[in-house]
A = this chain, B = another copy of it.
């Protein structure tokens, strides 16, 4: 970890931990939910709204920004922070997941991946070095290794290949990466195979990254297998580095991740649900299109401090949603992001106060709902 970064564990409670990651753009207190801003914007939310909701770090995506508006353009405009007017920490995903999942013509070999652009069908070639070059141009505080993510239901051989290639590419990313003001994270693959996760963790950790991510889960496997693999893999990672579970952030998932010793997680669920007219609440997911809300004067979540809950009723938001008014999806997106940020913050407080299990037991989210799959696909 370069001197621009420092990760401190403040408290532990079982496997759960509370920490702080210092970055050039400020401190990230963990556990921490990271809203997803794929194309340099968290859909329907302004930076100001995100700041007020307590977002500490936002995700963006190297694949999408490489094509639109182009990494060079972002760099010329002063880098991603300045371009999107977000002064707090940023994380960019490497584009690895998108290269494999968006479009059906990706051709991979040990050197890199040839694929067609989602935007105009043109052919492109991504390598670990190219991903790092793009991420250095973008200039996020935290950047990710370019990995191979095997698809859902991949067989043993395919998983083995992804583990080997991800490790080799991690080495090349480590080598290529030069910016001292960026924390580079390695990614552990291996599906739900314990020995492959062990092998992948060993090979990634020996490269000594500033932090470690768990990829390749939430792709359609059973939820129990995902949670078990998440916990198993987290325990293989060095305790003194931040751990990031990629693409999981439904309410139940956040709590499971914290329990497994994960520090950071991201998910498009809150904004996607918001655009679809749904609200995340402690009593489950509310579909605001439902006629039962037509004269419901309560806020989305009684007691919630977000702008949507402070000022508007379910009845009004239902009216906006059914009339396809943009303010409706803005308010729902804001509430949903606030809800997950609050949940992570409460989990952190519980860990700091040594009552995480009691906190976990007090929640009534049902496992498996809503949105327990990898949400990165929405980035298409």
Query: Which chain A residues have a beta carbon within 8 Å of chain B's beta carbons?
Result: 39-41, 43-48, 68-69, 73, 76-78, 83-85, 294-295, 297, 307, 311-313, 315-316, 318-320, 322-323, 325-331
Contacts and interface: CB of A to CB of B under 8 A. Distances in A.
Contacts of A313: 77, 83
Contact of A294 (B41, B73, B85): B73
Given A77-B316, A295-B73, A311 B85 contact: yes
A325 B47 contact: no
Contact of A327 (B44, B319, B331): B44
Contacts of A297: 77-78
Contacts of A295: 73, 76-77
B45 A307 contact: no
A41 B85 contact: no
Given A41-B325, A73-B295, 16 more contacts: A40-B319, A41-B328, A46-B327, A46-B331, A47-B311, A48-B307, A69-B294, A69-B315, A69-B318, A69-B319, A77-B295, A85-B311, A85-B312, A85-B316, A326-B326, A326-B329
A316 B315 CA distance: 35
Contact of A43 (B40, B78, B318, B326): B326
14 contacts: A39-B323, A39-B325, A40-B319, A41-B320, A44-B330, A45-B327, A46-B331, A73-B315, A76-B295, A83-B315, A83-B316, A83-B319, A85-B312, A330-B330
A326 B316 contact: no
Given A69-B315, A83-B313, A297-B77, A44 B326 contact: yes
Contact of A330 (B46, B307, B331): B46
A103 to B, nearest CB: 18
Contact of A68 (B43, B307, B323, B328): B323
A316 B76 CA distance: 12
A81 B39 CA distance: 36
Contacts of A328: 41
Contacts of A76: 295
Contacts of A83: 313, 315-316, 319
A44 B330 CA distance: 8
Nearest to A316: B83
Contact of A46 (B39, B41, B85, B307): B307
A43 B73 contact: no
Nearest to A77: B315
Contacts of A84: 316
A76 B85 CA distance: 42
Contacts of A326: 43-44, 326, 329-330
Contacts of A294: 69, 73
Contact of A41 (B39, B318, B322, B327): B327
B68 A322 contact: yes
Nearest to A83: B316
Contacts of A77: 295, 297, 313, 315-316
Nearest to A78: B297
Nearest to A45: B327
A311 B83 CA distance: 9
**Residue in A47, A315, A329 whose Cβ sees the most chain B Cβ within 10 Å:** A315
Contacts of A329: 326
A83 B39 CA distance: 34
Contact of A325 (B43, B315, B330): B43
